[in-house]
């Protein structure tokens, strides 16, 4: 396997790792509160969403190529940041309005998060078309790495989530907003 592609995959999966930790925090409140770590279907579902979206966005980016690279590279970080802030604010709002547990890991939220965190994958895909990188190998590696990074993040979030039971959604929302601010700062300052 190509080491450079693996390193790129790990790099662009760091955001989904952090988002998955936040979702693991959120999911902890919705499952059995026992001390034993229980990875429910949400962890697998989140991992599939993130892995597939990363693989799909790499593919789309590759085929779009140079024509739209400058346009997306200049605005992609805004789109990703706005989507992450919207989900973060939603998580904080829901934590304040509900006393009972509710599934905040719904398909709509996962689609928005998957799009927001895979904008970088799209941009990387456009650069792969310039460099004549093998798209099949890249899609496979990036999809698998994204899957495992998000699954590990979710497990980590569930494992330490019991330490923050009363503030789960607030912490998760703040993490998402901080990721959005990090993306903005990296792209505005550079």
Q: Convert the pLDDT of each residue in 94-103 to its tens digit.
A: 666 544 434 5
pLDDT classification of 71: cutoffs 50, 70, 90: low
| Contacts of 90 by beta carbon, 8 Å cutoff, 6+ apart | 104, 109, 173
What is the pLDDT averaged over residues 85-97? 73
As given in the structure block, the two tokens for residue 38 are 């229980």
Cα 119 from Cα 73, distance rounded (Å): 9
Tell me if 61 sits within 8 A of 121, measured CB to CB. yes
Between residues 84 and 172, the one the model is more confident about = 84
CB 87 within 8 A of CB 112: yes
Mean pLDDT of 172-188: 78
Instruction: Return the percent helix, strand and coil in the chain, to nearest 5.
Output: 85, 0, 15
Of 153, 127, 146, 141, the closest CA to residue 52 belongs to 146
Instruction: Please say if the pLDDT value at position 183 is more than 80.
Output: no
Place of tokens 């980016």: 61
pLDDT of res. 99:
44
Where are the chain's structural domains? 3-189
pLDDT (tens digit per residue) in 159-173: 876 565 446 567 667
Structure tokens at 60: 């789309």
* E-state strands within 87-184: none
Cα radius of gyration (the chain):
17
């Amino acid at each position: 396997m190509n080491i450079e592609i693996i390193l790129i995959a790990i790099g662009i999966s760091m955001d989904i790792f952090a988002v998955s930790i936040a979702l693991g925090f959120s999911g902890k409140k919705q499952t059995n509160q026992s001390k034993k770590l229980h990875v429910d279907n949400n962890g697998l579902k989140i991992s599939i969403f993130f892995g597939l979206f990363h693989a799909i966005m790499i593919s789309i980016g590759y085929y779009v190529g140079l024509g739209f690279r400058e346009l997306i590279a200049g605005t992609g970080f805004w789109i990703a940041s706005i989507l992450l802030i919207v989900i973060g604010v939603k998580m904080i709002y829901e934590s304040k309005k509900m006393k009972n547990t509710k599934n905040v890991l719904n398909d709509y939220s996962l689609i928005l998060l998957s799009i927001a965190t895979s904008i970088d994958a799209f941009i990387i895909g456009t650069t792969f078309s310039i460099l004549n990188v093998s798209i099949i190998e890249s899609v496979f590696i990036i999809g698998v790495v994204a899957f495992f990074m998000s699954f590990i993040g979710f497990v980590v979030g569930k494992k330490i989530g019991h330490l923050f039971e009363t503030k789960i959604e607030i912490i998760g929302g703040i993490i998402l907003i901080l990721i959005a601010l990090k993306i903005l700062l990296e792209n505005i300052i550079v």
